[in-house]
Amino acid sequence: MDRLNQALSRVADALFYVALLAGGLMMLHITVDVIARTVFHHPLPGTGEITASYYMIAAAFLPLARVTLWDEHVSADIFVSAMSPRSRRISEVFVDLLSIAYVSAFVWQTWLSALSKTRRAEVWEIFGGYLPIWPTRWLLPVAGVAMVLVLILKLVQRFTPKTNPMAGEAD
C-alpha cells in the first residue's frame, strides 16, 4: 500500500513539475515576444496560440493529481461539520465515489477527443503556417487518469485506517 502510495505521489509530482515548467515558459515566452516585437519589430509567430494551447493546458490540468493528493480542491463545508462521525464517513465515501465517476467520465471523453484530433492531426493557423494542437489534447486524459488513481487510493485508504494518506509526501 505504501509503495503504491509513493509511486502515485511520484507520478503526481512529475506531472506537477511539467506544469511548473510550463508556467515558467509562459512567463518567458510572452516576455521575449514583447521584447522582440518592441525592440526588433519581429514578433515571435504564434506566441498567443502556443501559450494558450500548450502552456495553459499544462498549467490547468497537470497539477490536478497533486492538488487531489494534497486535498487542495476548492470546496466548502456547510453541513459536514455538523454531522455525526458515522454520517460524515458515509458522506465522504459518497463524495469520493462521485468524484471518481466524474473524473473517469472526463478521462473517457477527453481520451476520445484526443484520439479523433490526433487522427485528424488538429492544427491552428498561425502566421506563416500551422501549429499542431493535437499533442496537447493528450494532457487532459493523462492528468485525469492520475487524478482518478489518486482518488481511488484515497478511497481505499478510508477503509484501511492505519495508513497516512500523505505518507508519500513525508519528505
Partner 1 sequence: ETPIYGSWPPASDYLNTDTLPAAFAQIDADTDGAIQWELIAGGQLSDARGSLAAVGDNLMQGGLIIPVYTPEAMPSLTLLYSIVVPGDDPVAVAGAAAQTIFLDCPSCLDEAKDNQALPLGGFASASYRLMCTRPVATMQDLAGMRVRATGGYGEMAALGGATPMSVTLPEGVSLLQRGGLDCLMAAREWLQTYGYGEYAKYVTDLPLGVAAPAVGFLINRDMFLDMTPDQQAAHLRASALITAQHTIGNYVLRDQSSFEAQQADQGVKLVEPGADLIAMVDGFAETDRARLIENGKTLGVADPAALIDTYLANVEKWRSLSAEVGTDVDAFAAALWDEVFSKVDPGAL
Partner 2 sequence: MDSLIFGLVTLAILLTLIGLRTPIGVALGVVSVCGLAYVRNWPIALSILRETPFSFAASWDLTAIPMFLLMGAIANQSGISSALFRAARLWFSALPGGLAVAANMASAGFAAACGSSLASAAAMGRLAIPEMLRAGYDKGLATGVIASAGTLSALIPPSILLVLYGVFAEVSISRLLIAGVIPGLLTGAAYVVMIILRCKMNPALAPRLAATDLATLKQDRLSALRETWPLALLILGIIGGLYGGIVTPTEAGAVGAALALAIAVLQRRMTAGRLVEALKETMSVTAQIFFVGMGAVMYTRLLSLTGVSALLVDLVGAWAGDPLLVVIALSVVFLVLGMFLDPLGIMLITMPVFLPMMKALDLDLIWFGIIVVKYIEIGMITPPMGMNVFVVKSVVGNQVPMWTIFRGVGWFLLCEVVVMTLLIAFPGITLFLPDLMQ
Q: Is 126 in the site for partner 2 (CB under 8 A)?
A: no
Region from 23-31, 73-81, 121-129, 145-153 binding partner 1, contact rule CB under 8 A = 121-129
H helices of 51-138, where?
Answer: 56-61, 64-69, 85-120, 134-137
Q: Is 41 in the site for partner 1 (CB under 8 A)?
A: yes
Chain-centre distance for alpha carbon 86: 32
Please, which contacts does 12-15 make with residues 24 or more away whose CB atoms are closer than 8 Å?
12/65, 12/66, 12/68, 12/69, 12/146, 12/150, 13/66, 15/62, 15/63, 15/65, 15/66, 15/142, 15/143, 15/146
Q: Which does 125 bind (CB under 5 to 8 A by kind): partner 1, partner 2, none?
A: partner 1
Instruction: For the CB of residue 139, give the shortest distance to partner 1 in the complex, in Å.
Output: 17
Region from 3-11, 39-47, 56-64, 98-106 binding partner 1, contact rule CB under 8 A = 39-47
Q: Is 135 in the site for partner 2 (CB under 8 A)?
A: no
Region from 36-44, 67-75, 141-149, 152-160 binding partner 1, contact rule CB under 8 A = 36-44
Rounded to whole angstroms, the Cα distance separating 34 from 117 reads 31
Q: Is 135 in the site for partner 1 (CB under 8 A)?
A: no
Q: Is 126 in the site for partner 1 (CB under 8 A)?
A: yes
Please tell me the total number of residues recorded for the chain in this structure: 171
Tell me which residue has cell 480542491.
73
Q: Is 19 in the site for partner 2 (CB under 8 A)?
A: yes
Task: Give helix then strand counts, H and E, for the chain.
Answer: 7, 2
Q: Which is nearer to partner 2, 5 or 54 (CB)?
A: 54
Q: Which does 121 bind (CB under 5 to 8 A by kind): partner 2, partner 1, none?
A: partner 1
> Which residues are near partner 1 by CB under 8 A?
37-38, 41-43, 45, 48, 120-127, 129-130
